[in-house]
Amino acid sequence: MSTGPESDLKSDPKSDPRWQLTLEVANSPAFERSPRLRSFLLFICELELSGRRLEINEQQIGIHVFGRAPGYNPGDDSIVRSQARLLRQRLEEYFRVAGRNALLRIDIPKGSYVPFFEANAVEPEPVPAATQPLVALPAIAVPEIPAPTPLPPPAFAPEKAVGLRRPVWWLVAAVLLLIAGAGSLYLWQTARHHEQPRDLEARFWGRLFDPTRRAVIVPADSTLILIEELTAKPVTLGHYLNHDDLRSLDLPKSITTIQPGDLESSQYTSMADLNLVARLMTVPEISHGQVQVRYARELSMSDAKEDNLILIGGARANPWVELFAPEMNFAVDYNWSTRQNTVVNKAPHPGESATYAESLGGPQSSAYGLIAFQPSLDHQGDTLLVSGTTSAGTQAAADFLLNARTLEQFLRTIVRPDGSIPHFELLLVGRNLGGNVPSWSVVAYRTKA
């Protein structure tokens, strides 16, 4: 049976047992880890129990829970709808596990944001075996056991036997105990060596592919490199968001076969980026989350603020990187005078360089890869940036990330005493052999407190 705003307690919803249930759910571990879902639940339940059901709509939720501007168009912003799906899933999980014995349950029917409080169908718990009624068993005739036959006396004196053999058995027992202890220690260390890194790797990917938050993988827009080469001007995020600027590019007069609109409508990305996308799809933790692959030009600012992003490519080919660059120490930059990609080190440590330039050509040509694990823009999730001075550098960064051994070893190096993984930046260098990097080494890294 559902209850509505006509309750006698609507003038003081906080004295309503339904509000107490709402607080129990909102304060449960599953909701404490997701502040936005917690605020969503509290907002709609308080309105419902206060008799203000008509105020529960998508626009009001967007304004008061997700900070949207008054008058925003929900048709252009799906944040409330996507979070409502997660809220329904989280409530279903709560009342299936932690709240399975609650007298009431909270339900939000699809197509609505109004919460309903219904009687919870509690399944009787099975009676433990120890409390089952005892059943009398029929008497069983036990045959009489004959008395044991005495053993013959030993052929040697007991005093001498004990005196000769007792030290030997104590020695053997001590040796066996030492062997067992050493074996147990070895097995524990081996298990710790193998399981701890695996746990760190799973927790790292689990933060990006969080079941309560959408993850969006964004390959680079390689068309921008062509536009910059033709116009000799960088394309900033502001120009990138304004498609009219891309349609009205000032191309050199010598180029007559390409129109500005052709470049604006073109969508190209590199094989290195697509290879990384395909490999990310094999990460086991990806099955737990909501994952989308979005072309960089189709991403919106609201997506960038509310989702866990995986940005592939430097700022030159993926302008969304600009949003995170101010908080980063390393950045892939393009030197227009030398026509060369470099890595800028904003605050070099002793022994480090301020810039790292790729070496082109020859057997010793090198490529740099950059991995940055950063907070999301709303600081409710995480963002991963993967780039390189060339496609080979991006490949080196991808190989490092998706090699369980190297990633686990690095995470074990930076993990905090409490076991949490800090945000970090990692700069790699590898030898470029025909666009491939067979091996790499760590140049420098940074972690955030």
The ranges assigned to domains in the chain are: 13-119, 201-222+269-447
Tell me the pLDDT band of 412, cut-offs 50, 70 and 90.
Answer: very high
- Higher pLDDT among residues 43 and 260, named by residue: 43
In the prediction, which pLDDT does 370 show? Answer: 95
Alpha-carbon distance of 216 to 49, in angstroms, equals 36
Burial of 432 (0-12, 13-18, 19+ CB in 10 A): buried
Burial of 258 (0-12, 13-18, 19+ CB in 10 A): middle
Alpha-carbon distance of 382 to 378, in angstroms, equals 9
Predicted confidence (pLDDT) at residue 343 exceeds the cutoff of 90: yes
In the prediction, which pLDDT does 222 show? Answer: 79
In the prediction, which pLDDT does 195 show? Answer: 40
Q: Does domain 201-222+269-447 have CATH number 1.20.120.1200?
A: no
Residues 220-241 pLDDT 10s = 887 777 777 676 677 777 777 7
In the prediction, which pLDDT does 140 show? Answer: 42
Alpha-carbon distance of 345 to 348, in angstroms, equals 6
CB 200 within 8 A of CB 408: yes
CA 187, distance to chain mean position in Å, is 31
CB 42 within 8 A of CB 101: no
Closest CA to 262 of 252, 276, 248, 272: 248
Residues 121-171 pLDDT 10s = 765 555 444 444 444 444 444 445 455 445 444 444 443 434 434 444 444
Query: Half-sphere exposure of 342 toward its Cβ, with a 13 Å CA cutoff?
Result: 15
Closest CA to 327 of 192, 171, 446: 446
Residues 274-332 pLDDT 10s = 889 999 999 988 887 789 998 888 888 888 888 999 999 888 888 899 999 999 999 98
Predicted confidence (pLDDT) at residue 13 exceeds the cutoff of 60: no
Residues 33-92 pLDDT 10s = 888 899 999 999 999 888 888 888 888 899 999 988 887 777 778 889 889 989 999 998
Alpha-carbon distance of 416 to 402, in angstroms, equals 22
- DSSP letters, 86-145, are HHHHHHHHHHHTTTTT-SEEEE--TT----EEEE--PPPPPPPGGGSPP-PPPP-PPPPP
Percentage of the chain with pLDDT > 70? 71
CB 226 within 8 A of CB 316: no
